[in-house]
Amino acid sequence: MDTAEIRRRFVAHFEAAGHRAVPSASLLVDDPNLLFVNAGMVQFKPYFLGQETPPFSRAVSIQKCLRTPDIEDVGKTTRHGTFFEMCGNFSFGDYFKQGAIELAWDLVTKPVAEGGFGLEESRLYPSVYEADPEAAEIWRRVTGFSDDRVIRLGKKENYWSMGIPGPGGPCSEILYDRGPEYGADGDFGAEDRYLEIWNLVFMQDELSAVRSKEDFDIAGSLPKQNIDTGMGLERVAFLQQGKANMYEIDVMFPVIERAEQLTGRRYGADHGDDVRLRVIADHVRSSMMLIGDGVTPGNEGRGYVLRRLLRRAVRSMRLLGYEDRSLPELFPVSRDKMAQGYPQLAGDWERISTVAYAEEDAFRQTLRTGTQIFDMAADQAREAGQSTLSGDKAFALHDTYGFPIDLTLEMAAEKGLQVDEEGFRRLMGEQRDRAKADARAKKGAHVSTAAYREIADALGHRVQFSGYDEVVAESTVRGLISGDGAVVGAAGAGETLELVLDRTPFYAEGGGQLADEGVIELDNGARLQVLDVQSPISGLIVHKVKVLDGEVVSGAAANAIVDVERRRSISRSHTATHMVHKAFREALGETATQAGSENAPGRFRFDFSAAGAVPESAMADVEARVNDLILADLSVHAELMSQADAVKSGAMALFGEKYGDTVRVISVGDWARELCGGTHALRSGQLGVVKLLGESSIGSGVRRVEALVGGDAYRFLAREHVLVAQLSEALKVRPEQLPERVDDLLDRLRTAEKEIEKVRLQQLLSGAGDLASRAEDVAGVAFVGQVVEGAGGGDARTLALDVRGRLAGDRPGAVVIVGVQDGKPSVVAAVNDSGRATGLSANALVRAAAEVLGGKGGGKDDVAQGGGSDASRALEAIEAVRRELAHR
């Protein structure tokens, strides 16, 4: 049974049982506790937490998930993978333990011919929480099993919580016995033998004081009992397909087969090769799915996870002997298999592949750079008589230059060196501990939504947003929340609080558009300034207000008045963003998709995917195209339609945005069409003019454009005109001749600077002979020590070498120059051949000086260089060298 059929059967089974089929959410989640969606229940979390009322009582989904804590174990076991699909059925206060167990058992054991999975009952073992006799009794009734076939396990295995205060409850697993070749009989801790294929969570408890997975307090029972289940698609697939592990199933093994063809290695012949091939299959699929959901490679957060996955895949191919570009060979194979369940991968392939292949090219360059850094570190180790590359050097190669430790080990062995792996692992561990500490600090970052939920429940309906059609609206105050998060009945002048109206013209921040501002006037004479507007839970619009006069009372009639000029200015910016987005896609191709934006009064910021810097000619074309269509005064109109119809009409949907079944499509003429809930100008002509200020990189594969709109753009251009006029007058040329005139001035300036530098260097070196002639004798060494004001590190090195060359060659000689430039000291030591023959080392001399200067230094025996932070101790540094020479 292929993976697509397992998906289909799972959904069909629960749809037949009255469940709403819900599409998978994006892998990206707006949750302070999660980097990615890691379980099927995540998109339903607001329902389980009581933050929102579910629109259905039963649901079924196939959820994309990604987990990375065990990334180092990928490929080494049958269980550890990064991307996976979780088949889940959910009950929100509807059926509970009996229903969940019956539905799961029926699907698992029902014959294949009847739409089930047809797993042998003799191989199945249900497990329950040891303190949940109710679940054990239900399993005995449903299955007819004897009591000893129902396995009791402890909190670690069979009690579920989110790791923070909130809902929790016992759970029950369905275990599949793979046979004695995978472990001992009855050893239910042996996961390879007794494989968990399904987990049923009975969410019934309210947890408090959660100290760990097994240490928490149960404050009481939840108001409603819920069901959250998860069946691992990949696990069921490898059982159904008769494979040994998840890497060999139909959607993953073709990547391994392609890697075999490219590398000449054979899966199953060598354990080390097998691990690398599995890593490739897993990471290629995971990376593709992440890029598909809008992640781009970067140095932190989600971007770093993607970068790490891509580079581990490329590195594994290299370790298997394949050094050409590998992702263009592997990614299409994974696309062809995964597009069966996620057709958007094929539709968005140009962008996905561009991002992935550009990252591989960047990594190949990193490998070249890292190799040079490694060679220098290896040479220094050998010159120092060391046979081991230090752990901090290996860690720096990994952390600073992105150089994999596997390659460091491989290349060190080729040079006859070992690597201090223990030191490297210790530093890696410290880094992970810091990351975990940060994560723990963030884990308590859940903002309580109890007050919002209370007001929403009392309201009984969504707050009506009337701002598309009006900027002034009559309304009623339906809720007040004080600064400490409590629902209150009234507030007086000077207080800042949150306020809910039953209908409002104020736009809540979202989709890149800043919130409206304005005032709310009450019938009792109170006047409130609207500072911000947000939507903390679905269906609720909350105004942050400051009471200017009078008293605001819940239930009072209100008149909500939006700041019209601010709204119009933001609306123009938002419309301009749509137009610039479309123009960039025309100029650069369909891969130039929006990756973020901010629409503010008179200006906007637009982020988009691009492999490299945007040529000036393309920027000029985009600006000209947008302004031509502004001049054309195209109508801007909104339509409501189903999401499917919107996509068919050519409307763009943006990554990371949530859309309902019915969506709002904004069209600028028949040219630019996007799904968007923001406010817009009525016609393109109202924008006046758009001026692109420039573009820059904000991360790998993502560029940012800053722009001005309307009056702000006009004022900017007016200032530019004045500036050009002033320059033309000062340089006595026409405006069109300014670039040529400025280039000429710059060339002359550079020539003059070179001449000045040449003269300065000659002056510096003119004193070299005098310094050499005044060399003092220190313990039999001709020593020159000099502080030179205005000399940088390069100057000090040039002077030190020149002086050393003027010392008598038959006598040990040493030169130490301390240069001071802009208050920062640098030190260079140089020793002649006679000095080195007596054991004199420039390395030791420069360290002695640099230590006094508050810094470090190093190099070779003949020349060494360092620096520091305390230039006031330059003369003391020279004296420290004298002592070093005297006591050597």
**Do 298 and 338 form a contact (C-beta atoms < 8 A)?**
no
CA–CA distance from 130 to each of 102, 157, 201, 324, 676 (Å)? 20, 10, 14, 54, 51
3-state secondary structure 461-502: CCCEECCCCCCEEEEEEEEEECCCCCEECEECCCCEEEEEEC
Say if residue 398 carries a ligand binding annotation.
no
* Amino acid (one-letter) located at 502: D
d(CA 56, CA 520): 36
Q: Output the six-digit token pair for 146.
A: 């004897």
Quick one: which of 582, 598, 531, 577 has its CA closest to 681? 577
Environment class of 849 (CB within 10 Å of its CB; exposed 0-12, middle 13-18, buried 19+): buried
Q: How many CA atoms lie within 13 A of 666 on its CB side?
A: 24
Q: Is the dihedral of CA 710, 714, 717, 723 positive or negative?
A: negative
Q: Beta strand 388-389 with 418-419: parallel, antiparallel or unpaired?
A: parallel
Environment class of 211 (CB within 10 Å of its CB; exposed 0-12, middle 13-18, buried 19+): exposed
- Helix, coil or strand: residue 748: helix
- Tracing tokens 């100029």 back to the chain, one arrives at 587
Backbone φ and ψ of 17, nearest 5°: -100, 20
3-state secondary structure 767-814: CHHHHHHCCEEECCEEEEEEEEECCCHHHHHHHHHHHHHHCCCCCCEE
Where helices occur in 145-270 by DSSP H, the ranges are 155-158, 233-240, 253-263
Residues in the chain: 888
CA 845 to chain centre: 46
Q: Output the six-digit token pair for 786.
A: 């000099």
Q: Output the six-digit token pair for 29.
A: 């989640």
CA–CA distance from 421 to each of 276, 393, 399 (Å)? 20, 11, 14
Helix (H) or strand (E) holding 297: none
d(CA 467, CA 471): 6
Say if residue 80 carries a ligand binding annotation.
no
d(CA 213, CA 224): 23
**Do 13 and 280 form a contact (C-beta atoms < 8 A)?**
no
CA–CA distance from 92 to each of 288, 498, 669 (Å)? 33, 30, 44
Residues 6+ apart with CB under 8 A from 694: 619, 705, 706
Q: For 366-373, which contacts have Cβ atoms below 8 Å and span 24 or more sequence positions?
A: 366/401, 366/402, 366/403, 367/318, 367/403, 367/407, 369/401, 370/397, 370/401, 370/402, 370/403, 370/407, 371/411, 373/397, 373/401, 373/403
d(CA 668, CA 682): 9
Q: Output the six-digit token pair for 473.
A: 């609206």
Helix axes of 271-292 and 301-319: crossing angle, nearest 10 degrees: 150
d(CA 60, CA 22): 6
Say if residue 574 carries a ligand binding annotation.
yes
CA dihedral 793, 798, 804, 805 (to 10 degrees): 170
d(CA 67, CA 428): 19
Annotated binding site for Zn(2+): 574, 578, 676, 680
Residues within the annotated binding site? 574, 578, 676, 680
